[in-house]
Structure 1
Amino acid sequence: MVLTIHSAAREAGGFLTVNGSLKNTGTAAFVNTTAWRGNELTSSGTSVAGVTLIDKAGKKRYYVLRDTDGRCLCTTGVSTIEAGQSVAFFAQFPAPPATTTEVDFTLPTFATATLKISG
């Protein structure tokens, strides 16, 4: 699996939205997506709710926002990614302070990546 981040952008209302894609570069269907949902938002089902952002300068971790029913504001329904298939994803977070220009992105099973925030 290859994880690509396309953007990490501040949005009106104090949100930060991360957009990206997950591509199965293997020869068989990938079904090991359970870890991506994390332990906290299991009501979101198969999702990328386990993603977090870390503001190292501000010493704060940001979790995916939730709706009033406790479901993540993120891509859901990711249970199988066929060989060669790419799946787009998004995750929305509370925006860090305007002085924060970079955050570390973590999704279980993938290495941590540093993202520059736009907007």
Structure 2
Amino acid sequence: MDLRDSKSRLILIVVALGAALVVAVASCSGGGGDDDTSRGAGTSESAPEDDGAGEPQDEETPEGDENSDEPAQALAEVTGEESITLTVTRAEREAGGFLTIEGTLRNDGSEMWFASAWAGQEEELAENGFSMAGASLVVPEEGKRYLILRDTTGRCLCTGFGNGIEAGATVSWFAQFPEPEAGSTQVNFQVGNMPPATIEIR
């Protein structure tokens, strides 16, 4: 073999190796591009899933807050006794054969208000002091008057107001009575010298 043939073969080997390297580099570049694309697709798919999961939670939270902030609807409201406003917000029959009435008292006067006479004229209820103990229900459909329920010690099943209601203050109250007859749907709630409050019961 002469020197000219050896050089020719060497050139062919170098060209072949160069071509192989070019093919290998191209293959690596293509694979890297595919990996990047697949990773990008995975990221874009996961983002909408997170957003979708968050949307219902954002919608539910405000609804719950709005419901909890809604004031109770007044069933009846009367004003008397030194600018005192009595509001009834609930009147429902309860299991056990009694009627629960709830509401608020607002003192629109300029001084603290105290009324021991609200305990009623019954000697048994005198120890209740300033409270709803003297409240009563008149049921026109029955021609009956119901007095407030009390325990064996004479404590009324009702709210007590302690030393009084401060000027500008609004306080909550409740009172429980024997349940009127099933067919009765309207009662007149009265306490102290306040005007009667006519309310519908369920």
- Shared fold by TM > 0.5? yes
By how many angstroms is 1:69 displaced? 0.9
Which of 120, 141, 145 is the equivalent residue of 1:61? 145
Bigger share in helix:
2
Preserved contact between residue 30 and residue 81 of structure 1 (Cα < 8 Å): yes
Preserved contact between residue 186 and residue 201 of structure 2 (Cα < 8 Å): yes
State the match for 1:26 in structure 2: 109
Which of 169, 175, 192 is the equivalent residue of 1:108? 192
Write the distance in 1 (CA, Å) between the matches of 2:113 and 2:129.
17
TM-score by length of 2: 0.56
Preserved contact between residue 117 and residue 130 of structure 2 (Cα < 8 Å): no
CA deviation digits over 1:66-118, x for unaligned, max 9?
A: 11111110012443111111111111000001100000111112101111002
Which protein has the larger Cα radius of gyration, Structure 1 or Structure 2?
2
CA deviation digits over 1:14-62, x for unaligned, max 9?
A: 110010111011222112x112111111122221111000111111100
Write the distance in 1 (CA, Å) between the matches of 2:195 and 2:133.
16
Question: Which runs of 5 or more residues in structure 2 are unaligned?
Answer: 1-83
After TM superposition, the runs of 4+ consecutive aligned structure 1 residues lying more than 6 A away are none
Coordinate RMSD, CA, aligned: 1.1
Question: Which runs of 5 or more residues in structure 1 are unaligned?
Answer: none
Bigger share in strand:
1
TM-score by length of 1: 0.92
Number of equivalenced pairs: 117
